Amino acid sequence: MINQCGLEPANQTQERRTRTASAKVTASEFAERESYAYQHGQSVSEWIRQTLVNEMRTQRNGSLDRHIFTELVGVQLLLINTIAPLIRGDRLTPEQLDAVLRQVQSIKSRKAQELLEKRANKETVR
Mean pLDDT score of the chain: 86
Percent of the chain surpassing pLDDT 70: 86
Segment 97-117 mean pLDDT: 95
Residues 89 and 70: beta-carbon distance below 8 Å: no
Q: What is the average per-residue pLDDT within 91-114?
A: 95
| Whole-number pLDDT of residue 12 | 54
The answer to whether the Cα torsion of 19, 25, 30, 32 is positive or negative is negative
Residues 42-66, mean pLDDT to the nearest whole number: 84
CA–CA gap between residue 68 and residue 74 (Å, rounded): 10
Q: Tens digit of pLDDT for each residue in 39-48?
A: 999 999 999 9
Which whole number is the average pLDDT over 62-85?
91
> Which value, in Å, is the radius of gyration of the alpha carbons in the chain?
24
In tens, the pLDDT along 83-96 reads 988 999 999 999 99
Residues 44-53: what's their mean pLDDT? Answer: 90
